[in-house]
Amino acid sequence: MLIGGARIIQLRDKDLSGKELFDEARRSVELCREYAAKLILNDRVDIALAAKADGVHLGQDDLSPIDARKILGEKAIIGLSTHSVEQALNALKEPVNYIAIGPIFATRSKSDTSPVVGPEGISSVRFAIGQFPLVAIGGINTGNIRDVMSSGADSAALISAVFSNERSIGTMISELMDLANH
């Protein structure tokens, strides 16, 4: 991912033990530093702090952004997943650096998703939150990333599009970034 140009990596693994995730986070932080990239952890504020990660991505049922900010400090990147305009507007009141909206499309990487919001959902949230950083997540791939970006997303979180392809991860990241920027 780093070789392909990704500069923000989210470490997400629901199956690892706390120790295994911490060890992986420490290794990932070191790699990200070599490439001038940032590492954020999914959900786990404690491990983000212990591993000296750059931040955390929180869901609606995770630790509150206020508490995460108290633990991680002012310089930490804190993102919050939302699934509607109402949740996005509420997220603006929190000490977050970006808001994620999704799932944009059906996704195979998460089974307990909220209803699909589509590109229209991105546009609605973009209108509601103005220029606040917006990340689209869920089912995004080479066939739809242009629509995602043209609907108002600043960036896109990708899992299946990168890892379920026969091409190398670096090649996929590079291709997706080219598509997103044109």
- Residues serving a catalytic function are 12, 81, 110
Contact 133, 153 (CB under 8 A): no
Residue 80 has, within 13 A of its CA and on its CB side, a CA count of 25
Strand residue runs (E) in the chain: 8-11, 38-42, 55-58, 77-82, 98-101, 134-137, 155-157
Residue 96 carries which DSSP code? Answer: -
Lookup: tokens for 55: 């931040």
Distance between first and last Cα of the chain: 20
